[in-house]
Structure 1
Amino acid sequence: MYLVVGLGNPGARYERTRHNVGFDVVRSLAERHGVQLTQKRFRAVLGTGNISGESSLLALPQTWMNLSGDSVGPMAGFYKVPRDSVLVVHDDLDLPFGTVKVKGGGGHGGHNGLRDLVQKLGGSDFVRVRVGIGRPQGPMDTKSWVLSRWSQAEDGLLSAIMDRAQEAIEAVLRDGVKSAMNGCNGLVPIGSKDDPGNAATGGDALEKEND
């Protein structure tokens, strides 16, 4: 069994914010595979289903972001899911907007949700699907940036980003981490000038917005 976790903060105040993109990806994945996120256990909203031929438990912790391990740690223990079968979807400041990358293990990179997971899971060798949100271009501080909502131009690209992140998760479950990394990590950011679908997805508007 795989445990697929989306990181975010609970409550309407945080919906559609950059920091909650992990929630959004896992919700989209659940819808794509007909998984009902209706169970409430381990301080999380849960659903089970088959994804890429693998029995999978999808989870959205309802703790604050920096306490995600209080939910995921006991959950992984109860279902006897080893750390390397835990997959965490999270926002990443160090990746440009439109970028999705797969990573097997590693540090927390200053992400408080990952930091708590490393501590509560007892190690860092879980899989990550990193969804780039970029860094603020102006005077906005990082905390305000991650808790802000997407711009209109960014919002127009989210569907394509959700699809790529879901495909990355499916590739990990189907083919393993290394193969998923090879298939995903070299792709150009969605909406960038090098993206073949730039004009069709609204990337031109994003380029102008960032000028």
Structure 2
Amino acid sequence: MASDPIKEFMDSALVTWVRTFESDGGGGLTYAALADGVFLYDVMNHVDPRDGGGRQVNRHPSDAAARLSNLAALLHHIKSFYQDVLNQSVVLRLPDVVKVSRAGEGAAGVPEVRQLLLLVLGCAVQSPRKEDVIDNIKKLDLVTQHSIVECIKEVTDNPEAVWPSEWSTIEAVPEDQLAASFNILVRHCRRLAQERDGFHQGPLVDHSN
């Protein structure tokens, strides 16, 4: 029997963690509620209540355009938090919110929703509410806790994902990390070039069809 990527994702440690923000104590969260951006937007507002990223969401999105607007607002808030609060630049590949909005409740958007959720987790454990967030993580079973810790490592103190602003000059990079940091930057540059080429080719392909 083929696996169900949505069910597997909804049973994952990341989703178990974000369920701790449900007002009913958890259990009612659906994949559709994650994919439309509203619930995660509210989570971001809870951990970073400055101004919601300066945007509002449609709480009853009925089409791809409404979902895209919500997800764009969420992503804007996430990037704002990393840049303005943590003084870091997100350098990992950003979630493709267009794919999520088009997929709706379909499984095609699962990897992108996971990426969004991972970034929200990174914000939450470094936010002013981090003590409450960590306390709630400690209430989960040990296997789930371990999995969440591994997820946290992906987006905190990891230059593969976020680049500290203090490393903007070579003198600021610790000497024992210079070689590794250079290699990471080279990989980021290559990825950015590939993404640029992909964006350039996309309209050409669409135009030729």
1 or 2, which has the higher strand percentage? 1
The answer to whether the superposition gives a TM-score over 0.5 is no
1 or 2, which has the higher helix percentage? 2
Could you tell me the TM-score, scaled by structure 1's length? Answer: 0.27
